Every structure is written in structure tokens, then in C-alpha cells.
Amino acid sequence: MKRKIYDQLLSWKNTEISTPLMIIGARQVGKTHIINEFCQNEFEEYVYIDLLAKPEIINIFEEKINLEEKWHRLELFLEKKIDIEKTIIFFDEIQESEKLINALKYFAESKKAYKIICAGSLLGVKIHRFQSSFPVGKVRMLNMYPMDFEEFLWALDKKIYIAEINKCFNSMKAMDESIHKKLLDIYNVYLCIGGMPEAVFDYTKEQDILSFNDKIIKNIIDAYLYDMNKYVKNIFETSKIEAIYRSIPTQLANPSNKFQYSKISEKARARYYIEPLKWLISSNMIIESKQIEKPEIPLKAFVKEDYFKLYLSDVGLMTTLLELKYSDILLNKSFTYRGILTENYVANQLLINGFSLYYWQSANKAEVDFTLYTNEGIIPVEVKSSDNTKSYSLNVYIKKYNPKYSIRLSTKNFGFENQIKSIPLYAAFCIKQRS
């Protein structure tokens, strides 16, 4: 299935290939698949090394010998002379070897034309807890996320719609109503299964939600919980990490519009959950959106400490964690958590497009879901799960800060009125730095 990150891999090959590339992303977002495809397509020779399957290679890099000798021993182990000029090496599950991660700086500094790409589960956690010196500036890092809605359309062989979505987005003229309704139906399917590649691939076989194997997403969540147990030594820390993860749907429905430790358990206190929370954020399993005091440049400077929201990394995981019936989503039934699901979806799409996530709340509890730092200034984004677009909060924001324009994402068609861009939820992927 086509992935946008492939173009970034090509850019690395053409401009920065002497710098090792590290792909960071949560488990099962498709890292290994797309890197394999890239290496096979773009290089004459390719060596794949899974460190979980070949722990002996970890031992090679543990040895106190120079890089040349390590490379020689690697060739002996592989029983293959590696042509450095023609060959790319992919170290998968590189989080298993801190010494190999550290050695990436020596590959970068070498006069030889080493071509190294690496990936692994929980790399963000590994880097966060790195014991030795991480090779800052010697490794190019790319984040990889689940498939966004545009990639979902590619996978369903419905790319014909993408040009029309972009045309309407750029002109702010309404989409043909029949096509608009079709795209909302596809969007509802995306809410059900999300963008995890294995889940999307299964759906593409029949493109019928009744034939979709929902155990795929349940197994992904189980794999995440397994990672918590495997990569966290302390059983008490593991239980806290899982408790935070499972509390996120409840947290998002919290009237206070911020994460509260008391929602995990009555006796929960911040000081006991800070490290588990950092673990989840570093793992890319959850997304953090920070509250700002006022929407001024740079947004990061106006963050309110201890005020934040958390979203799951994929809306399909949220749907499954909530144990929602797909029929309730597909039939557009109204329920409290539909708004939460929609907000999580938008958070995913904005993050994939490179935005840091912030939200604004006034003293009188008016709240704008997202504030985006773009080339056109700070743009407020309001999210609605239906076509009911009345909004006290957005009006308060506009009156107070007078942005160049505002964005409202809902099930309404494209339009532009009163300096508010109405954008259908299926077009959230169009919102980029210049929107």
C-alpha cells in the first residue's frame, strides 16, 4: 500500500544518505514493510538484519573493537562480503542494541559510503532512557504514523476523490452533494478501523465492514500491552502505564477538558505517574496536546504546565478500546463519545501533517480544540462531529484574538463565511502549514 513517507525516504537517499536514517513510530504502523519496499526498489543490493532474530549481531557491537573490525565480523556472520558502495543495510528492532545505536555516529563520520537505515518498536522510549551518549546530529530521524485518510483512499483505490477534495479545499466551494455524502460514509468507515496498515489491508479485500476482522485491532492493542510488560522492568510501572492508556477515553470526556490523574484512580497522584506518562508519549502510543494561555507566537512559550490532553495514536484503536459497535458509527447515531472519537481523528490527521498540538481555553471555559502555528499565523480549529456548527467557544476566540481566519471541521460541506472555513472532516488531511 502506498505510503507518504516513501517520498521522504527518497529525499534522504538523494540528499543525506551518508547520515544513518532512523524511523521512529509505534508498533505496527508499517515501518518494516515500507523500509523493505524502499530498500528493494532503490538499491542494487540490500541486507536485512532483525536484531530480535539475530542477537549474535548485538554481541558484535558490544565488543570493544573499532568499527572496521565490527564490520568485518558482521560480514563473517552473514557469510557475505558487503559492497559498501552498492548496499543498504536495514537494522530492524535496533532498540535491542544501545551500542549499535551509539555506533551510528561512527558510520556517519566514516569516509566510507555506508548506507544505514534502522527502525524498531519503542525507539522513542529507548532514546528517552538512553544510558550512553546518543549520536545527536549524526542520525536523521523520521516519524512514522498510521495511515491518514488520504492514504486510506489510496488503499481503497479511491484516489479519484483526492483531486476533487483538494480542489474544493483550495477554492472553498461546495463539493457535489452526492460525492460529499459518499466521502462522509468512507470517513465513517475510517473511524471504525483507523489507519493501522494491517487493519486497512484486511478491509480492502472486500471493502465491507461486515467482512472486516476486528480481531486485528484487538491484537494490536494486546501487542501494545505486551510491550509494556516486555520493556518495563518494574511491574508497578507497567500497571501504571496500562492504567493511563486505558483511562484516555474517559479523560477525553472529562468536563474539565484536561488530563486528571484522579480519573485513573481516586488515589492517583502526579508524582507517581509522571514517568509512566513519559513512557507512553515517547512510545508514540499516545499523543499529547498542551493547553496554551494565549495564542501568540511561539505557542510553545505560552503552554500552561500540567494542563494537557491525551489522544490515542489511531482512531481505530480508540473505537476498539471503547468497544463501540461499528453500526452505531456507520448509521451516524448520536452518542456522547462520538465527539471524542472525532476529536481523536483530527488530532491524528494534524500530527501526521507535522503540527505540534495545542488547544486554548479561556477563564470562563470557552475552548478551541486546536490552535495551529502556520505560515499564515495562528489559526484556531474547532471540531464538530455533526452538521450542528453553533459554537460559543469559537466566537469568543474570534472576538478576542481576531485571527486571519478560523477553521471548523464538521460533516457540513465546504464553504467560507464570516472568516470561517467550513471543511468536511474527510478533508482534514488537507490542512497543512499553509491552509
Residue 298 included in any domain: yes
Judge if 139 and 220 occupy the same domain. no
Residue 169 included in any domain: no
Residue 378 included in any domain: yes
Judge if 270 and 410 occupy the same domain. yes
Residue 119 included in any domain: yes
Q: What CATH number does residue 92 fall under?
A: 3.40.50.300
Residue 177 included in any domain: no
Judge if 9 and 113 occupy the same domain. yes
Domain range for 29: 5-143
Give me the pLDDT at residue 228, please: 86
Give me the pLDDT at residue 435, please: 53
Give me the pLDDT at residue 193, please: 97
Give me the pLDDT at residue 434, please: 67
Q: Report the domain count for the chain.
A: 2
Give me the pLDDT at residue 384, please: 95
Low-confidence ranges of the chain (pLDDT < 50): none
The last residue of one of the domains, among 91, 109, 143, is 143
Give me the pLDDT at residue 269, please: 84
Residue 202 included in any domain: no
Strand blocks (E) in 270-419: 286-292, 303-312, 358-361, 367-368, 370-374, 377-383, 406-410, 415-417
Residue 156 included in any domain: no
pTM of the predicted model as reported, rounded to 2 decimal places:
0.94
Whole-angstrom distance, CA of residue 357 vs CA of residue 182: 29
Judge if 338 and 253 occupy the same domain. yes
The last residue of one of the domains, among 114, 143, 172, is 143
Give me the pLDDT at residue 265, please: 82
